[in-house]
């Protein structure tokens, strides 16, 4: 009986959040270990389906860097990175599009449907969902001269989002699963950072929340302790002081862009934890870092 009462208490703890977020959109960047472990993949699918059934609208943006790297390795093609961006020539772009928009995307769609949900896979090309432009990367300075400008190839950033196709899928109770591949006005295809795509989509959809799944507990302070909540100003100070660095920077940039676009909260959560999505949304303390405007 005590165990049954405990389960009832858990449901009651979630009730205020269910009421608050009913009918709202939550954009989730799915990546890292949560995409690799069979157990975590199943738990993620269950979380997403539960959100949809209780009236919350999940939109998934996924990565797939390791899968791209494995495919390139099988082809005997070397992978190079510049400041966290994969150098993407024409041949590599073909592989990126095939792996992200094909294999990985459809595996996630099939996973959700296996667990009882309805999902549709998309890239930025579908329905004109989002357009991109090429980026150049600023390298190191040489002496007193200007910084080196590096061309990473077919690497881009989102410039415009037209979310009509997502609204149409929502009307049919479908869960959109989006690969971070975009196109420019001339039809050139670009590989785009998945965190960045998730931030741009969250802004365009006026999402209630943006969840960025990763393989660390969240943002940590100078002592290595998890920071459960902070605002944008504090976060920017942590970046300037070098406390937040490396692979967390793209997530910080995505979070800032989302908050600028009207998203109410951004969460960075540890995807290695079972049911990480539910724990972050429906519990008072959460498990990761929440970032406020």
Q: Which helix (H) or strand (E) holds 278?
A: helix 276-282
Q: Residue 7: what pLDDT? A: 66
Task: Give the domain ranges of the chain.
Answer: 23-77+88-127+162-178+191-292
User: What percentage of the chain reaches a pLDDT higher than 90?
Assistant: 77
Handedness of CA 216, 219, 222, 225 (dihedral sign): negative
pLDDT at 183 over 70: yes
Q: Residue 220: what pLDDT? A: 94
Say how far apart CA 99 and CA 96 lie, in whole Å.
5
DSSP 203-262: HHTT-SEEEEEESSSS-B-TTS-B--EEEHHHHHHHHHTTSS-GGGHHHHHHHHHHHHTT
Q: Residue 4: what pLDDT? A: 64
Q: Which helix (H) or strand (E) holds 66?
A: helix 65-74
Class of domain 23-77+88-127+162-178+191-292: alpha beta
How many Å is the maximal CA-CA distance in the chain? 73
pLDDT at 131 over 90: yes
pLDDT tens digits, 218-264? 999 998 899 999 999 999 999 999 999 888 988 999 999 999 999 99
pLDDT tens digits, 109-129? 999 999 999 999 999 999 999
Global confidence as pTM: 0.93
Q: Residue 170: what pLDDT? A: 94
Q: Residue 177: what pLDDT? A: 98
């Amino acid at each position: 009986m005590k165990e049954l009462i405990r389960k009832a208490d858990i449901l009651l703890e979630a009730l205020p959040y269910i009421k608050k977020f009913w009918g709202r959109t939550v954009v989730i960047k799915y990546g890292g270990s949560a995409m690799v472990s069979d157990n975590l993949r199943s738990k993620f699918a269950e979380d997403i389906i539960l959100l949809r059934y209780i009236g919350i609208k999940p939109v998934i943006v996924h990565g797939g860097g390791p899968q791209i790297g494995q495919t390139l390795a099988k082809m005997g093609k070397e992978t190079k990175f510049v400041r966290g961006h994969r150098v993407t020539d024409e041949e590599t772009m073909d592989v990126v599009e095939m792996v992200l928009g094909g294999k990985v995307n459809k595996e996630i769609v099939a996973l959700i449907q296996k667990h009882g949900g309805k999902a549709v896979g998309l890239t930025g090309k579908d329905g004109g969902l989002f357009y991109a432009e090429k980026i150049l990367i600023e390298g190191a300075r040489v002496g007193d001269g200007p910084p080196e400008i590096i061309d990473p190839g077919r690497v881009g950033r989102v410039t415009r989002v037209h979310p009509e196709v997502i609204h149409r899928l929502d009307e049919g109770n479908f869960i959109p699963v989006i690969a971070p591949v975009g196109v420019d006005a001339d039809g050139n295809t670009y590989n785009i950072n998945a965190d960045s795509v998730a931030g741009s989509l969250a802004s365009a959809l006026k999402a209630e929340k943006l969840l960025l799944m990763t393989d660390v507990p969240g943002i940590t302070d100078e002592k290595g302790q998890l920071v459960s909540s902070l605002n944008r100003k504090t976060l920017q100070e942590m970046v300037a002081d070098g406390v937040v660095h490396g692979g967390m920077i793209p997530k910080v940039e995505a979070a800032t862009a989302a908050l600028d676009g009207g998203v109410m909260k951004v969460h960075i959560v540890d995807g290695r934890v079972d049911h990480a999505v539910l724990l972050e949304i429906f519990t008072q303390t959460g498990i990761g870092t929440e970032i406020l405007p």
